[in-house]
Structure 1
Amino acid sequence: MYNLLIVDDEKYAVAGIAQGIDWTDLPVANIFEAYSAKQARELMEREPVDLLISDIEMPGDSGIELLEWTRTHYPEAETIFLTGHANFNYAQQAIRLGSYEYIVKPIDYDELKKVVAVALRDIGEKREAKAYQETYRQYHDKWMRQKPLLVERFWQDLLGLRISSSPEKIEEAIHLYNLPLHARQIVLPILISVEEWNQPLNARDEEIMEYAIRNSAEEILLAGSPGAVIQDRSGVNVALLYGDAGGEEGLERLRGRCRELLAAANRYFYCQLSCYIGEAAELSKLPEMYRALLEREHDNVAETNAVFALGEGAAAKAPHSIPYAPAEEWLVLFEAGQKAELLRRMEETIRAIREREATAETLDALAASVKHMLYRAFHRKGLPIAGGSAASRGGIRTLAQLRTWALEAVEESYEAYHGQIPDTRAVIDKIHQYVADHLTEEELKREEIARHVFLNPAYLSRLYKKETGIALSEYILQARMEKSKALLAETNRKVSDIAETVGYANLSHFAKVFRKTVGIGPKEYRQKYQK
């Protein structure tokens, strides 16, 4: 929720805005009123204010001076200016100081409400971005300062079998590390599996985010109880609770905490996790228990973002659990150029696998069938196998990930095999024409464009970036702005009509995007360049 402050030396004007607009459908908590810049400053020192709606021309300090003071003391607050005159000097100063909007009286309350709604949305986005950056900075600083801890080294050595499993040797290691444990200590392990990142991260950022996940796991899973959350020498994250779960009731509470961790990871750390809860064991038996958890994680290829207890729902390892993948039939369709039918049959096979108890061996078998089909097709034609997706399936641990890999591998290899890659310019031209024909649409979806050029959406994005050097979303924005500039310079159409023509239903939002992209507002651009 947000706080508004209305500033005008005319009380009826303040009352008109405060009471004449229905604010109930906007996230507005409080509406404060002030009748001079001095009163506004005093109020802002007492109450938090997110958005000012201020007159420019007032007795004493003007709205411009109030904005200068606000920028110094409360830089995150936005300001919408109201004025009775379209004074260029005032507008110039307002733009220089970074005011959000500049509206000439008499005020259209509906238009003002729309501007406020967009402003509050932008303030919220900035607030969320700042919160994320602050969280990232905190964890980054902690990560940079972190030194190898003795407790983590002990657990790494124990789980990695660098310490003998005999109670005597474990007791010696505990004494060496000076830890508050004993050889007969009961410990319950929880393996925390990072299955997939929801956005691209480099290796360094992944390390920082995994550190943040371990901190969150310590807060949520341990919840103040004795224990540790560490990363083993292979990079696997594991929580170690000193003691047992406390029966079925305790195990259910632990499941709830794991689900809470999964939700936090998805919301704050841009990843999907699964938790594998082991059974409490003495330190001498803990490495064996840990291996069982690793094997359970390895065998789970069908379910993601879930909580498992050891021994529950484990996939059966019977020979018939690996379904038949008709690679020879796929090969015939691939070579005949029947891509749509090939993809349909592959989807059928994957769907059949999903309905059974899929295992890691299932993934290997399906991947082998796809590679067999592609390698045979390219070998027969005397061509080298296409790179990219077809060459490797590294990092794939679930059936959903394998599906994405398999379909992309076929898409990329099909185009290379049938000689369509050299004609990428035609694909780019077709994309550009589609964008030009649909600029009036507020949302130009990648999926629709991909369907138009008969490509996988993810492959389309990579192809476009590779061929043009910019992202598809950047090009769409450029196309909207170039069309806007042409209409502003060559016609007398209203700015609001031009905004709708290029896909912006909200004039204020269009003006803001235009100013950010071009450097000046639409009206200023027209004044400068109109022929």
Structure 2
Amino acid sequence: MNVLIIDDQPDVVAGIHSGINWDALSIRQVFCANDIIRAREILSNNSVDIMLCDIEMPLGSGLELYEWVAEHFPEIKCIFLTSHEDFSYAQKALQLGGFDYLIQPAPYSAIEVSIQKAVLQIQKERKEKFYSEYGNYFSKREMDLLDVLLNEFLQKQPAEPQNILSFLDTISIKLDPGRSCVLTLIDILEQDTPHPVRDLSLLRSILQNVVSELFKPFTKKLLFCHVHEQVFALILYETDNFTKDQVQIYLHTFVEAASQYLHFKIACYCAHSANFLLLPDKIQQLLEQRSENVANYSGIFYQKSSISQVPYTPPDFVHWNFMLSSGYYDAVRADMHDYLLRQKESGHVNQKMLSLFLQDFLQIFYQILNHHHIDAHGVFEKEYDIHALNNSCHSIEEMHKLLDFSVDYLKSLQISAEPGVSQIDQVVNFIQKNIHQNVTRTEIAHQVYMNPEYLSRLFKKVKGISLSDYIVQEKLKIAISLLEGTNLPVSVIATNIGYTNFSYFTQVFKKVYGISPSEYRQKKK
């Protein structure tokens, strides 16, 4: 350990330095200072464990110095030395957390005793800190291992049930496999936050802390583990003394708290009570039930809930077929999305319903493709991922994507058969959809199967403005709106409209408006 001696009298410093048996106290190095300015310099550049500090000094008191030390180096122990028997000094020293207070002239033996006490106290605190960190480390390792073993047990992987029971016993969790347990799957459907938690270990810790806090009656009878993706398992064991209604109240409180404080949209799937060894069968049933929740309904769903028992009322596909064949693509698109939204709001969406809807929709889609002499397999091999097609009935969002693709594809068939003006409309649509990116003329030309040079000439002829100037014009419209209506930094606004080079964005803006973006915002205030 290292010691710093501070006193404005050099002879006092020299006397303490030579009069103390530092080796016997296990002190490795002794620093000396005659004012608090030099003391701060030493403290800032060296490792110091104990201070021997005078109180009254010309350039600042020892109390002032220790107040600074307590803020920047709180682990340092300070022994105050003063020749004034002033109670207010002693009181202030103790209030600041001083370790000891000696009246000078104090015999070197008394100073040695005080230093020895400080050394022992530091050793004790460091040992406690070590064991605390050591214990936390192994506690975390235990929880990680428990997470893995529980997951393997619930997923019916190679681990034997006895393995998890033995491990629970080693960490002092006494679980009777013959007694009643309640298994709940917790599925995070959505994180409505600017910075969603992606780290699954952190996500598990957050949820486990919330669950442990809210399920206080079960604190000693609660297991928690990650299952897959953003799905977690909560096991309440030895629940014989709790009714289903009581468990339901706690689950409702958890879902509401997660929504209010974490901004998580959550679905809980709760199984009927069963003994511990039957939980792997229960979790499979709950996972199947989860797969039926394609509309991402939040709330609490009990085993064999009515979520999977919904009717399928098909829309008027004959009318849609006629409208699509007649070129009313956007009207049909809006009608399709509206139909799915109404079904979701009425609770009539599940995997089976989407599967039946998909079959009916593909029937009219293929009919229109056949009219254009296009093979269906070519569309889904080259234009749309076949796996995405198969997954479209697993999620209402994926179904929306398929419908958008299908309508856009049919629309492109008509556009490609029409002359210049319709192609320019398609170019404008593409620019608007990708206004937040840095799209090139070549990329745009590729979308309408045109030569880039010819596209530029045609665009100028139809729109009366060059293609590059039109893109800049549309981007700056958005920039103006954001400058006037938000407090976003100019650099963020530039990025939002596809300018990764901030200086270039400022140059373009100034060329059009005569002033910089910052000056424009200031002018509009």
Q: Which has the larger radius of gyration?
A: 2
TM score, norm. by length of structure 1: 0.49
